[in-house]
Structure 1
Amino acid sequence: MFVVHDERYYNKFGVFKDRIDAGEKLADLIVRHFDVDRDKTDVVAIPAGGVPVAWAMAKKMKLRLKVLLVSKILFPWTTEAGFGALSMFGDVELNKRAIRHYKISDDVVEEQIKKTREKIERRLKIIPEKYLLKEGNEIAFLVDDGLASGYTMLVAIKSARRFYDKVYVAVPTASSHAINLISKSCDGIFCVNLRDVYPYAVADAYLEWHDVSEEEMLEFLK
Structure 2
Amino acid sequence: MTPPFLDRADAGRRLAASLMRYKDLHPVVLALPRGGVAVAHPVAAALHAPLDLVLVRKIGTPFQPELAAGAIAEGDPPELVINEEIGEAVSPAWFKAEAGRQIEEIARRRTLYLGSRDRVPIAGCTAIVIDDGIATGATMRAALRSVRKAQPARLVLAVPVAPPEVIARLRADVDEVVCLMAPDLFGAVGRFYQDFPQLDDAQVIELLDAAAARLGP
Whether TM-score is above 0.5 comes out as yes
Give runs of aligned pairs for residues 1-222 of structure 1, distance below 5 A. Answer: 14-31=3-20, 35-76=21-62, 80-89=66-75, 90-100=78-88, 103-128=89-114, 129-130=116-117, 132-161=119-148, 162-197=150-185, 200-222=187-209
Which amino acid is the alignment partner of residue 56 of structure 1? P
**1:206–1:83 Cα change, 3 Å:** farther
Change beyond 3 A, Cα 1:76–1:23: farther
- Alpha-carbon contact 2:26-2:49 (below 8 Å) kept: no
**In structure 2, how many angstroms separate the alpha carbons of the residues matched to 1:36 and 1:13?**
31
Offset, 1:77: 5.3
Query: In the alignment, is the contact (CA less than 8 A) between 1:15 and 1:205 conserved in 2?
Result: yes
The structural deviation recorded for 1:107 is 3.5
What amino acid does structure 1 have at the position aligned with 2:141? Answer: L
State the shift of 1:80 in Å: 4.7
Give how far 1:50 is off: 0.9
| Equivalent position SS for 1:60 | helix
Secondary structure of 1:130's partner?
coil
Asked if the contact 1:65/1:131 (under 8 Å) is kept, the reply is no
Provide Cα deviations, 1:67-99, integer angstroms capped at 9, x if missing partner.
221222234455655232111111110111133
Structure 2: tracts of 5 or more residues without a match:
210-217
Task: Figure out how many residues of one structure are paired with residues of the other and give that number.
Answer: 205
Listed one character per residue, the Cα deviations across residues 121-150 of structure 1 (whole Å, up to 9, x for unaligned) are 211222324363454452111011111111
Q: Which amino acid aligns with 1:189?
A: V
CA–CA separation in structure 1 for the residues paired with 2:159 and 2:2: 15
Indicate the structure with greater strand content: 1
Task: Measure the CA separation in 1 of the matches of 2:146 and 2:120.
Answer: 10
The corresponding residue for 1:5 is: none
- Gap regions ≥5 residues in structure 1: 1-11
AA of the residue aligned to 2:169: L
Q: Quick one: structure 1 residues 68 and 131, their matched pair in 2 at CA, closer, same or farther if it must change by over 3 Å?
A: farther
Q: Residues 28 and 51 of structure 2 are in contact (CA less than 8 Å); yes or no, is this contact kept in structure 1? A: yes
- Greater shift after overlay, 202-211 or 130-139? 130-139
Q: Which has the higher contact order (CA 8 A, sep 6+)?
A: 1
Q: State percent identity of aligned pairs.
A: 27
What is the deviation of 1:186?
0.4
The normalised TM-score by structure 2 is: 0.84
Cα gap change, 1:57 to 1:19, in 2 (>3 Å): same
TM-score normalised over the length of structure 1: 0.82
Q: CA deviation at 1:210?
A: 2.2
Backbone CA RMSD of aligned residues: 2.2
How far apart in 2 are the matches of 1:88 and 1:167?
17
